[in-house]
Chains A and B, each alone.
Chain A
Amino acid sequence: IAGITQAPTSQILAAGRRMTLRCTQDMRHNAMYWYRQDLGLGLRLIHYSNTAGTTGKGEVPDGYSVSRANTDDFPLTLASAVPSQTSVYFCATSEGESSYNEQFFGPGTRLTVL
């Protein structure tokens, strides 16, 4: 059982390029999330999806887009990467959007934009 997988593990990208970070889960969880983690800052929510077919904006959505065509996959796309998007990106899932549902995290993608 893989749980949550993310790809790629790491990537160096030229500014202006388009990039999609992949996230796949086999836990059948309804809710999925994308966070970025930067040194000295807490995890910041980029986008989320409470169930397949729906998405919502988090704290820092600008420059990012997501889709949720099915339960298992939640890709994050950077349309035109900028250096400030250099970060570690974590995908997370939870059974639902209720407060008591813990979030489970994927291993992360380390992205460097030059």
Chain B
Amino acid sequence: GQNIDQPTEMTATEGAIVQINCTYQTSGFNGLFWYQQHAGEAPTFLSYNVLDGLEEKGRFSSFLSRSKGYSYLLLKELQMKDSASYLCASVDSNYQLIWGAGTKLIIKP
């Protein structure tokens, strides 16, 4: 079957580091996306991983382990504007995205 799991909500402090985990079970896995969604807005692309390892992009990094069915999004030097939901989505054999329910990240001063 197809399944994506990520925590419902996380809280972190401004300036700190937070790691948001995502586990997946996807037939014919073809990669994993992370998107950011501010309340009341559309999702926007953050990263795409298809090979094992860490991809770094400024304050945001994304990691993938295909053998473990596991990914994480790492956010460094947290800013108040990073308060949002973070959506994990795996790509199946038909190139369709299977979406997690999202992790709401709350940043406290």
Contact = CB atoms under 8 A, between A and B. Distances in A.
A42 B87 contact: yes
Interface in B5-55: 30-31, 33, 41-45, 48, 50
Interface stretch (A15-23, A72-80, A104-112): A104-112
A1 interface: no
Interface string B64-100: 0000000000000000000000010101000111111
B8 to A, nearest CB: 8
Contacts of B44: 105
A102 B42 contact: no
Contact of A44 (B30, B99, B102): B99
Interface string A81-113: 000000000100000011110111111100000
Contacts of B4: 42
A11 to B, nearest CB: 16
Q: How large is the interface on A (under 10, 10 to 19, 20 to 34, 35 or more residues)?
A: 20 to 34
13 contacts: A40-B101, A42-B89, A43-B99, A44-B99, A45-B96, A48-B96, A100-B31, A100-B48, A102-B33, A102-B48, A103-B45, A104-B45, A105-B44
Interface residues of B, number: 22
A99 B44 CA distance: 17
Given A42-B4, A42-B101, A48-B96, A99 B91 contact: yes
Contacts of B48: 100, 102
Nearest to A42: B99
A8 interface: no
A108 B42 contact: yes
Interface of A: 40-45, 48, 58, 90, 97-100, 102-108
A48 B33 CA distance: 18
Contacts of A98: 95
